[in-house]
A and B are shown apart, each in its own frame.
Chain A
Amino acid sequence: EVQLLESGGGLVQPGGSLRLSCAASGFTFSGSAMSWVRQAPGKGLEWVSTISYGGASTYYADSVKGRFTISRDNSKNTLYLQMNSLRAEDTAVYYCTSGGSGYYPNWGQGTLVTVSS
Chain B
Amino acid sequence: QSALTQPPSASGSPGQSVTISCTGTSSDVGAYNYVSWYQQHPGKAPKLMIYEVTKRPSGVPDRFSGSKSGNTASLTVSGLQAEDDADYYCSSYAGSNNLGVFGGGTKLTVL
Chain A interface residues (CB < 8 Å from chain B): 35, 37, 44-47, 50, 59, 61-63, 95, 100-110
Contact = CB atoms under 8 A, between A and B. Distances in A.
A100 B45 contact: no
Interface in B53-98: 57, 89, 91-94, 97-98
Contacts of B105: 44-45
A35 B100 contact: yes
B33 to A, nearest CB: 11
| Interface size classification for chain B | 20 to 34
A85 to B, nearest CB: 19
13 contacts: A44-B3, A44-B103, A44-B105, A45-B38, A45-B89, A47-B100, A47-B101, A59-B98, A101-B93, A102-B101, A103-B48, A104-B100, A107-B47
A26 to B, nearest CB: 14
